[in-house]
Structure 1
Amino acid sequence: MANTQGNGPVSPRNRLRAALGQGDGAPTVMERVRRRYIKTGRDDDLKDKFDALLTDLCERPAPDNPEEEEQELREAGMLLVLGVSGAGKTRSLARLFERHPVLQAARTGPDGLVLSMTAPSPCGVKELGRAILLATGYAVLRDRVTGPEIWSTVRARLQALGVLVLHIDEAQHATQIRDAVERQKLRNSLKALMVDGEHPVALILSGLPVVADFVLADRQLSRRASWYEFRSVGLPADTTMLTKALTSFAELAGMSVSEGEMLRILPRLVHAGDHRMGVIVEEMHDAIRSALADKAEKLEIRHFETAFAKRTGNARQWNPYSRSDYRAVDVWRMLQVKHLTPPPVTKSKKARDTMTRNVEEGYQQ
């Protein structure tokens, strides 16, 4: 017998929320914090790239001759959005599709202008084709179906739904195909979407930088592509943005951050997040959760230290929020404890003085 609430079934997640005492539907403090999006200059740059993709897709080959236009549609283009893991690509694109003024009237998804999905792993020709169809609400149940049959159905399905832009996230899965012939078949399948004579579809591939190698291996594909890279976050260039972000999160949680604490937190935060915006935001969220558990009115560096220790299992000498020479800590090491050799401590007084001066004078990298 299905669990129901009101007139509909209760999802496993809602049952868990109820068990945790969060079943009244009101957003929790952390839900409000995590929902807050930190807009940066790269969001504007990404929108410009997306606008160019849409404009190119809509330009008519024969604006003065509608009959000729119907016979010859313009080929679609491709946008590659690249960056290291945790750079924030996926959430930035999701927000772009959700907030873009052109797309607001047409919902993204199976019946919208943009279809966003995640590449499967493994990501062969059949696997990707099936995943695209599933994202449109169409499941391929037959086992004995060829790649050409699947992709023919993909093109027909996208045309029937009016999808003009296909976004494939985690596109680096395609680079894991060892067979060169299979990789080229996958490239050809993507090209076929872009040059379809009846319904060309523009592509957005987002993923790790290695996706560039997959595209550059085919000149016909790469010449249709434009590129955007999510660059690293750094200080002092991003000091203002990070200060506003941390202040905004803290205020949502009913806390404040003093100027002195901000000076201590930011350089260590950027290092702990390995200069990756998505990871840095997660560090902020974890610290606020720790402060909420502490019933603190002020967000302090000790909350970042506690959150980092809980997440990594590391002892203090492996915690960038605990050490003065925080740059010596490898933030990707996990479960580092006291009996293991810690990172080297800067022994030179001149080096220690220089580091202290850099932090105090404006978060120099």
Structure 2
Amino acid sequence: MTAKNLSPALVEALSRVRQSMSADQTALADRMATINARHLKTFRDDAFAAHVDRMKRGLVAHYSGDEKQYRMILVVGSSHSGKSTLVEHALDNDPAFHSYVDSEGTETVPVLRFQAPSPCTLRNLAVDGLEALGFPVKSDIVESRAWPLFRQQLKHRKVLFIFIDEAQQTINSNNEHEIQKLRDTFKHLVQMDDWPIRLILAGVSPLERLREDMQIRSRSTVLNVGDLDPVAHRAHVVHWVTKIVNEHAELALADFLNGDFPEKLVHACGGCFGSIVESTRLAVEHALIEGVDEVGVAHFATAYAQRTGCSPSNNIFTAKDWRSLAPGAARKEDAKAGSAPATNPASGPMKPLRGGERRK
């Protein structure tokens, strides 16, 4: 749920929490919200845009023999690789996906966005899609009724594109029959003659099981959002850190990027682009908490310790033998020696996380 579609009830509840906070804390929250809202463009944006352009060309040529291959886009990558942000930014900034007032005077949004439910039965998927459309659904609706109703509402609301995030949930079943039903349902959606739909699915690698069906394979393209290499992408990492700190946060950056820091950051984040961005923003936040105007290695080390729960001797940003440490490793030696676990100044002891995992 984004800020632009928060329910009135949630806005009221969040406002009460905000009223309980000090002016310094709300100012910090607002500044970080502004920083976090800035998009960090990469080579992946251009690659995804090319896929979308092909999909749009095929859509407008639907009745004159479009290429079937461009009816679905699968954006596949590891957790925290930046898939969702990549797609959402494109949808927010491409006029093809913007709302408009149709000939009947009704505001129409051509793209439907929602997250795959868990457990993800075909019924649940249709129900969540209907709810995302704002259509009231009875709790006892059955699959055989839900899907025809969903297709009907897509036409009625003039939806042409569907973006399903966490789409690997759709095939998290050991029942091959159910997975094939899903494939057949998706195929039907994208080849309806009277109302062609185009699908954008984002998820981790199991999502590619959809393409074991040759008809799905012939109707889809894949954008693999792979992990970053500490050597090949070193210059990119330097650029991203500099841009976030200097341009987005408007802070100074200490002179530490010429050494092995870029490799440390990639290693600490397990090669995940999204985690690199988040780690840099967390380092910025710690600098702001300290009231300093320069971000240094110590801020990254603090952010990493709080994210992973690692002991001081096993912090990738400070350890001499950091290459031998697993990302996110939370060692116990220092805790046994009597040192306190990593803490968050605002909330106390932090639960250890895996490398690259995001704090909820």
* TM-score class, shorter: 0.7 to 0.9
Distance in 2 separating the partners of 1:26 and 1:261: 26
* 2:238 is aligned with 1:243: yes
The residue aligned with 1:311 is: 307
What is the match of residue 265 of structure 2? 269
Supply the AA of the counterpart residue of 1:88: G
- The worse-fitting range, judged by mean Cα deviation, of 54-63 and 216-225 is 54-63
Identity of aligned residues (%): 26
Task: Show structure 1 runs of 5+ residues with no match.
Answer: 1-6, 64-71, 342-365
Aligned partners of 2:48, 2:135: CA distance in 1, in Å?
A: 30
Task: State the structure with more CA Rg.
Answer: 1
Match of 2:86 in 1: 92
Contact 1:57 1:75 in 2 (8 A): no
Give 2:121's aligned amino acid: G
Shift of residue 46 of structure 1?
0.3
Tell me the equivalent position of 2:279.
283
Cα gap change, 1:199 to 1:75, in 2 (>3 Å): farther
Distance 1:320 1:26, change over 3 A: closer
Residue type of the partner of 1:18? Q
Of residues 121-130 and 145-154 in structure 1, the stretch that sits farther from structure 2 once superposed is 145-154
**Structure-2 change in CA distance of 1:41 and 1:119 (3 Å):** same
Residue in 2 aligned with 1:324?
320
Q: Deviations over 1:11-38 (max 9, x none)?
A: 2222222222369899722122211211
Q: 1:204 to 1:161 in 2, by over 3 A?
A: same
Q: CA deviation at 1:121?
A: 0.4
The Cα offsets for residues 100-153 of structure 1, whole Å up to 9 and x where unpaired, read as 14334649xx9311111100000011111111111101132141x331211101
1:1-365 aligned within 5 A? 10-21=11-22, 28-62=30-64, 77-104=71-98, 106=100, 111-143=108-140, 145-213=141-209, 215-251=210-246, 252-261=248-257, 263-334=259-330, 336-338=332-334
| Structure 2 Cα separation of the partners of residues 162 and 265 of structure 1 | 49
Contact conserved, 1:122 with 1:177, CA < 8 A, in 2?
A: no
Structure 1 CA distance, aligned partners of 2:62 and 2:126? 29
SS at match of 1:117: strand
Q: Residues 165 and 203 of structure 1 are in contact (CA less than 8 Å); yes or no, is this contact kept in structure 2? A: yes
Compute the displacement of 1:259 (Å): 3.3
Distance 1:336 1:111, change over 3 A: farther
Q: CA deviation at 1:49?
A: 0.2
* Larger deviation, residues 241-250 vs 283-292: 241-250
The answer on whether the counterparts of 2:75 and 2:201 sit within 8 Å (CA) in structure 1 is yes
Q: CA RMSD in A?
A: 2.9
Q: CA deviation at 1:280?
A: 0.7
CA deviation digits over 1:179-217, x for unaligned, max 9?
Answer: 22222222222222112231121111110011101x123
Say if 1:335 and 1:151 are closer, same or farther in 2 by CA, change over 3 A. Answer: farther
Whether the aligned pair in 1 keeps the contact of 2:114 and 2:164 (CA below 8 Å) is yes
Unaligned runs of 5+ in 2: 1-7, 102-106, 338-360
- Partner Cα separation in structure 2 for residue 80 and residue 124 of structure 1: 19
Say if 1:43 and 1:156 are closer, same or farther in 2 by CA, change over 3 A: same
Are 1:194 and 1:203, in contact at CA under 8 Å, matched by a contact in 2? yes
Moved over 6 A (4+): 23-27
Q: Quick one: which amino acid aligns to residue 77 of structure 1?
A: R
TM-score, normalization: structure 1? 0.80
Separation (CA, whole Å) in 1 of partners of 2:298 and 2:98: 42
Secondary structure in structure 1 of the residue aligned to 2:63? coil
Secondary structure of the equivalent of 2:90? helix
SS in 2 for 1:79: strand
Go from structure 1 to structure 2 and tell me whether the alpha carbon gap of 1:106 and 1:271 turns closer, same or farther (over 3 Å shift): farther
The answer (yes or no) to whether the contact 1:312–1:335 under 8 Å persists in 2 is: no
Amino acid at match of 1:319: N
Counterpart CA distance in 2 for 1:75 and 1:271 is: 36
The SS at the match of 1:168 is strand
Q: Secondary structure at the match of 2:134?
A: coil
- The amino acid of 1:53's aligned partner reads M
Q: Which moved more, 1:176-185 or 1:224-233?
A: 176-185
Q: Hey, what's the Cα distance between the residues in 2 that align with 1:106 and 1:327?
A: 52
